[in-house]
A and B are shown apart, each in its own frame.
Chain A
Amino acid sequence: MKRYDAVLVGAGHNALVAAAYLARAGRSVLVLERRSLVGGAAVTEEVFPGFKFSVFSYVVSLLRPEIIRDLDLPRHGLQILPLESTIVPLDGGDYLGLWSDPDQSRRELARHSPRDAEASQVFGRLMQHMAMAVKPILGMVPPDPASLAPSDLRGLLRLGGHFRSLGAERFHALYKLMTMSSADYLDEWFELDPLKATKAASGIIGTFLGPRSPGSAYVLLHHYMGEIDGAFRAWGFQKGGTGAISEAIASAAREAGAEIRTGAAVARVRVRNGRATGVLLESGEEIEAPLVVSGLDPRRTFLDLVEPGLLPDEVVEAVRRFKIRGSSGKVNLALSELPDFTCLPGTGPHLRGAISISPSLDYLERAYDDAKYGEFSRRPYMDIVIPSMIDPGMAPPGKHVMSIFVQYAPYHLNGGWTDARREAFGDAVVDTVACHAPNLKRAIIGRQVLSPADIERITGLSEGNIFQGELALHQLFFLRPLPAWGRYRTPIRGYWQCGAGTHPGGGIMGASGRLAALEILGRRTG
């Protein structure tokens, strides 16, 4: 029987990060991936010949700089090309443009509202301060508030000290972001509805919240915490699609000595006397390891991989209560030509950025209302990018790929996600985009529609939730994923969790993987 120091279940980006850190520390590491490619929900696949889709996740911002540095990812192929703009088509044919260049952005905003143009600068600076205030928390293992252990008390004191050092004004601003709805928060700053809606949209990504739901401002902040080359809030596109990020991390892991096996689905964690002893593959093969680290979501980690009866009842209860509702869909298109947006006709730099279908807060809120009652949004929120405009290698010459991220498409759809419903969903999405780019339909050569049920089926993410569990306050930090099991451990000794279902949560961050690995290695963090 093969034996390793550590076995990783799943080759999503967090598990790959954990594998790389463990391997670099000299452990013998094996990563087991069910599918034929690594990456989990960060994969690039040639769904139609010549057309490469970032099938699920499509942009990156939150990948931790320390991970990029420690694993030397640029040498392994990480190359993020910034998205320079977001265009919001408005009713009536105009558009709102948000540019990463601050001067251009201000000029464009001033065209619609000079007041908001000024406010935008101040807002941006505040959000940057907030992101900096929260950043250290992303890099720390959550302290246990009920513990009396000296190391936990130190952690709590450090955390308390950190908040006090912010000063009252910043602390209060942070508290507002943690408790308010993104709509209410933005209403205090801006008057332009499409501006508020577009910003509020990052507060609903991957959630079961509307812009008027308390708690959505936190998700807004979460998405603000991304940095590229030191610039906060910048989003980018990886050359070759998000799969190339996973490949880069995998390459770093392999270089450090980790072994990665694809086509190897894990059926069970082997447990004896309360300790993990290895894994059993679906093929029947057994692999021994005193350390098993699951990169899968908490439901799979605790309920699917573990034999029933081995976990205390209250843990099983708590896992079942953990909210992991999928609400996002994806439509990937292979196009024979570029879309021609009525609000900004022709080709232009705007096609190298994102197009956001978010004309008003009411629009987003109504989209949410549909989902609350078990329907996909009749008029959904969409974040559209054309990767081939930034990286021509994603499509054959002269042709293009379009990636459309959609809210909302609830996993629990009335009547279930039948093929007909999936296609109806795809149609609703394409129809909505076509309203703004009338040439779209005739340009479609191929279409891939992914409901949360498809996301679950393909990647294993329970209920197709892209964050491995909702980013709600009561499921964050030391409460993520479960009270008492928010520090990467499980009740089974030697069995660890390292996916986005642990602190600090989702997005292509890698933070969970790194923190889990450092905990395993006994290294101090934060």
Chain B
Amino acid sequence: MSAPRDAIVIGAGVNGLVAAACLAKAGRKVQVLERSETTGGQSRLLEFAPGFRADPLDRDAGWLPPPVARELGLTGLERVIPRATVAVPAGEGEWLVLSSDAARTAQAIRPHSARDAGKWGVFCGRIAALSGFLEALYTLPPPDIDTTAPGELLSLLGVLRKLRGLGRADMIELLRTVPMSVAELLDDWFELDPLKAAIGASGVTEIRQGPRSGGTAFVLLHHHVGAAPGALRGRGYWRAGPNALTRAAETAARGLGVEIRAGADVARVLVKDDRVTGVALAGGEEIAAATVLSSADPARTLLGLVDPVWLDPEFLLALRNIKYRGSAAKVLYALDALPDFPGLPLAGEAFAGTVTLSTSLEELERAADAAKYGRVSETPFVEIELPTLRWPALAPEGKHVLVAHAQWAPYALREGPWNPARREALGDAVTAAIARVAPCFGERVRQRAVLAPPDLEARYGLTEGAVTQGEMTLDQILFMRPVAGASRYAMPLEGLFLCGAGTHPGTGIPGGPGWLAARRVLSGRRHGARP
């Protein structure tokens, strides 16, 4: 056995790297073990065709919590907010392009609906206020009903004060909005179908529900944490590259003395006398440490790496009941040239946002129905990005990458497993959807790769291919995440912690879970009551 570390971190994605860096900064000796040959986790670039690369999982830069950035000196990263955030077909060959500037957006909406244009600014303000409250919640460990520690009670009171500080109207609006469906929220505000579809899409991304389902308004708010006010669906991207944040986190970690080992696949967490003693790699090598943090998802960690004999049967049951519901597929296209979207200026506007192809909430709802019955949507909900418009180096000169996100493509299909034929059928459906608005699209395609949920699972180690590490439904957030009673990062096994998106605050908050988990480790508090 090699020299003992204070802590081992499993997974060199952003959360693992941030957790490791925070521990190292506090003087701990930390080693990060990464299964694949490259670091970066979800943000790793995938070369899906010779010379063509993409980062299919990250939809935007997410919200890097300021305390995390400050602690690790990650303040130099520049985030670009695209001027055009979302474009949606608005009928008769026209497009509605939303901007990160609310006034511009209102102007774009006006010819289609003066009424909606007039409400746009107020709506943006409302979303900003509500998601702003979530920001406060997301820099704290989740409050729970049995909180007794004075520090936590104070934080809880702080959150409650901030809630009341929203003012009566906004506070009630928050309590009212969170459980709502995004369809109902948008129907209350707007009349224009494509506008509602463009915004509503954000409420059903990475969730196996349609826009009429309760809790999707919360998902919309969650995806807007950290967005600049007025920039709906415009959280932006890192100027330096899709994996700029993970590279910066890695640099910071190494600078603080963290050892990072790639090609090291952790097969088991070693336990003796109800305490963690280290890990064993796939080859048999054992590495000792009294503290192990895993940024892998809860199922992979606790059901995959830990012998069940060390875990309470009720806890195991609760773990098995976590819903992952991976139902997003990615279709990657290597293009010989930029496709032409008639009516939508792409290169001219340096269009670096998202093109969404569903034009009504009803279309989204119908597409979502299929997933309930274990089928792929007949007419999938497709959103596309052209990352080469942000980062030209992802493809050879003059060529482009197009990333299509397709829902709903459930991990487990009733008719049988994902096979090449089913993948191609999905790829064809997505190509057809794009071709409907970009007629010559097919001709530009040099090569195509379809990543169905099992492919995402295999490549990124995500259970059911769920990038969220646990669906972001109301029953699986805050003190319920990953399971009730074990939501403060420490697991019911002494020395074992979770630090990935499967813990609060969840997906799209890079470094948030890692930082909060590290703080929990440093606080020295043992795990509390069992679930």
Chain A contributes a number of interface residues (CB within 8 A of B) equal to 34
B531 CB, nearest partner CB in chain A, Å = 8
Q: Is the CB of B179 within 8 A of A172?
A: no
Q: CA of A362 to CA of B371 in the docked complex: distance in angstroms?
A: 12
Q: Which residues of A contact B146 (CB under 8 A)?
A: 164, 167-168, 171
Number of A-B contacts (CB under 8 A): 94
Residue B278, interface by CB 8 Å? no
Report B142-196 residues with CB < 8 Å from chain A CB: 144-146, 164, 168, 171-173, 175-180, 184, 188
CB closest residue in chain B, given A147:
B168
Q: Which residues does chain B contribute within 8 Å of A180, judged by CB atoms?
A: 473, 475
- B212 — which chain A residues lie within 8 A by C-beta? 213, 372
CB-based contact B171/A369 at 8 Å: no
Q: How far is the CB of B220 from chain A (nearest CB, A)?
A: 14
CB distance from B414 to the nearest CB of A (A): 10
Q: Are A146 and B168 in contact (CB under 8 A)?
A: yes
Q: How far is the CB of B303 from chain A (nearest CB, A)?
A: 16
Q: CB < 8 Å: which of B179, B373, B480, B531 contacts A362? A: B373
Given known A-B contacts A168-B485, A214-B215, A176 and B480 have beta carbons under 8 A apart: yes
Contact at B484–A168, with CB atoms within 8 Å?
yes
Contact in complex: B209, A172 (CB < 8 Å): no
Tell me which residues across on chain B come within 8 A of A372, comparing CB atoms: 212, 365
Interface membership of A484, Cβ < 8 A: yes
Residue of B nearest to A177 (CB): B475
CA–CA, A474 to B175, complex, Å? 7
Residues of chain B contacted by A400 (CB below 8 angstroms) = none
Residue B479 at the A interface, CB < 8 A? Answer: yes
> How many angstroms from the CA of A479 to the CA of B366 in the assembled complex?
30
* Closest A residue to B172 using CB positions: A483
Cβ-closest chain A residue relative to B177: A474
State A146–B171 Cα separation when bound (angstroms).
8
A242 vs B173: C-alpha distance in the bound complex, in angstroms? 38
Query: Given A168-B485, A179-B179, A179-B474, is A484 in contact with B372 using a C-beta cutoff of 8 Å?
Result: no
A179-B475, A321-B188, A483-B172 given as contacts; is B145 within 8 A of A473 (CB)?
no
Contact B175 A172 (CB under 8 A): no
CA distance A484 to B170 in the complex (A): 12
User: Is B321 within 8 A of A188, CB to CB?
Assistant: yes
Contact yes or no, B214 A215, CB < 8 A: yes
A145 at the interface (CB under 8 A from B): yes
Asked if A172 and B479 sit within 8 Å, CB to CB, the answer is: yes
A169 proximity list for chain B (CB < 8 A): 484-485, 531
B529 to A, closest residue via Cβ: A168
B205-225 to A contact mask, C-beta < 8 Å, 1/0:
000010011110000000000
Q: With contacts A168-B529, A171-B145 known, is A176 near B172, CB below 8 A?
A: no
Contact A474 B180 (CB under 8 A): yes
Residues of chain B with a CB closer than 8 A to A369's CB: 369
Q: How far is the CA of A145 from the CA of B321 in the complex (A)?
A: 33
Chain B positions 477-518 with a Cβ under 8 Å from a chain A Cβ: 479-480, 484-485
- Chain B residues within an 8 Å CB radius of A483: 172-173, 176
Chain B residue at minimum C-beta to C-beta distance from A189: B321
Contacts of A473 in B (CB 8 A): 179-180, 214
Interface set, chain A 367-381, CB cutoff 8 A to B: 369, 372-373
Nearest Cβ on chain A to B345's Cβ, whole angstroms: 36
Q: Which residues from A are CB-within-8-Å of B215? A: 179, 214-215
Question: How long is the Cα–Cα vector from A372 to B367 in the complex, in angstroms?
Answer: 13
Closest residue to A167 on the B side, CB-wise?
B146
Q: Is A323's beta carbon under 8 Å from chain B?
A: yes
- Would A172 and B480 count as touching, CB distance under 8 A? yes
Q: Is A116 an interface residue (CB 8 A)?
A: no
A residues near B474, Cβ cutoff 8 Å? 179, 214
B173 to chain A: closest CB distance in Å?
8
Do B177 and A172 touch across chains, with their CB atoms under 8 A apart? no
Q: Report whether B188 and A479 are in contact in the complex, using a CB–CB cutoff of 8 Å.
A: no
* Contacting residues, chain A, for B59 (C-beta < 8 A): none
Whether, in the assembled complex, A123 has its beta carbon less than 8 Å from a beta carbon of chain B, the answer is: no
A184 within 8 A of B: yes
- Residue interface bits A338-373, CB-to-B below 8 A is 1, else 0: 000000000000000000000000100100010011
- In the complex, A167 Cα to B474 Cα: how many Å? 20
Task: Provide the residues of chain A in CB contact with B475, threshold 8 Å.
Answer: 175-176, 179-180, 184, 214
- In Å, the complex CA distance between A483 and B369 comes to 32
Q: Please tell me if B323 contacts chain A, counting CB pairs below 8 Å.
A: yes
Query: Nearest CB to that of B166 among chain A residues?
Result: A146
Asked whether A163 is an interface residue with its Cβ less than 8 Å from the other chain, the reply is yes
- In the complex, whether A106 has a CB less than 8 A from a CB of chain B is no
A195 CA / B423 CA spacing, docked (Å): 35
Chain A residues near B369 (CB-CB < 8 A): 369
A188 vs B484: C-alpha distance when bound (angstroms): 14
Interface assignment of A472: CB less than 8 Å from any CB of chain B: yes
- A residues 306-329 with Cβ under 8 Å of B? 321, 323
A212 at the interface (CB under 8 A from B): yes
Contact with B along A386-401 (1 / 0, CB 8 A): 0000000000000000
Closest to A163 in B: B145
Proximity bits, A208-241, B CB within 8 Å = 1, else 0: 0100111100000000000000000000000000
Q: Which of A372, A373, A474 has the most CB of B within 10 A?
A: A474
A472: B residues at CB distance < 8 A: 179-180, 214
Query: In whole angstroms, how far apart are the Cα atoms of A169 and B144 in the complex?
Result: 11
In the docked arrangement, what's the CA distance between A68 and B475, Å?
Answer: 36
Contacts of B188 in A (CB 8 A): 321
Interface residues of B in 318-360 (CB under 8 A from A): 321, 323
Q: Smallest Cβ distance from A368 to chain B, in angstroms?
A: 10
Query: Smallest Cβ distance from A443 to chain B, in angstroms?
Result: 36
Q: How far is the CA of A184 from the CA of B471 in the complex (A)?
A: 13
Please measure, in the bound complex, the distance between the C-alpha atom of A169 and the C-alpha atom of B474, giving whole angstroms.
17
CB–CB B184/A323 < 8 A = yes
Across the interface, do B529 and A479 meet the contact criterion of CB distance under 8 Å?
A: no
Q: Which of A168, A209, A362, A472 is most buried by chain B, counting CB atoms within 10 A of its CB? A: A168
Q: Which residue of B lies closest to A479 (CB)?
A: B176
Binary interface profile of A, 129-156, with partner B (CB < 8 Å = 1, else 0)?
0000000000000000110000000000
With A179-B215, A215-B214, A473-B214 as known contacts, state yes or no: A146 contacts B372, CB within 8 Å: no
How far does the alpha carbon of A39 sit from the alpha carbon of B17 in the complex, in Å?
A: 66
Inter-chain contacts of B171 with A (CB < 8 A): 145-146
Using Cβ atoms and an 8 Å threshold, which residues of chain A touch B180? 472-474
Asked if B176 contacts A179 (CB within 8 A), the reply is: no
Shortest distance from the beta carbon of B290 to any chain A beta carbon, whole Å: 27
Cα distance A175–B146 when bound, in Å?
14
Q: What distance in Å separates the Cβ of B409 from its nearest Cβ neighbour in chain A? A: 18
Name the contact of B473 in the complex, choosing from A146, A179, A479 (C-beta under 8 A).
Answer: A179
Q: What are the residues of chain B within 8 A of A167 when measuring CB–CB? A: 146
Contact (A214, B321) CB under 8 Å given A146-B168, A146-B171, A472-B179: no
Q: Which residue of B lies closest to A477 (CB)?
A: B175
Interface pair B213/A168, CB less than 8 Å apart? no
Residue of B nearest to A171 (CB): B145
For A365, give its contact among B145, B323, B372 (CB under 8 Å): B372
**CB atoms of A212 and B480 under 8 A apart:** no
Within A220-276, the residues touching B (CB, 8 Å) are: none
Contacts of B480 in A (CB 8 A): 172, 175-176
**Neighbour of B172 across the interface among A171, A179, A215, A484, CB < 8 A:** A484
B373 contacts A213, CB within 8 Å?
Answer: no
Closest to A484 in B: B172
Contacts A/B (CB < 8 Å), 9 sampled: A146-B171, A168-B529, A169-B485, A172-B480, A179-B473, A213-B213, A214-B215, A373-B366, A474-B175
Beyond A168-B144, A473-B180, 15 additional contacts (C-beta under 8 Å) are: A145-B171, A145-B172, A172-B479, A179-B473, A179-B475, A213-B214, A214-B179, A214-B209, A214-B473, A214-B475, A215-B179, A321-B188, A472-B179, A483-B172, A483-B176
Give the 9 A-B CB pairs with smallest separation, nearest first.
A172-B484, A473-B179, A146-B168, A179-B474, A214-B214, A215-B214, A179-B475, A483-B172, A168-B146
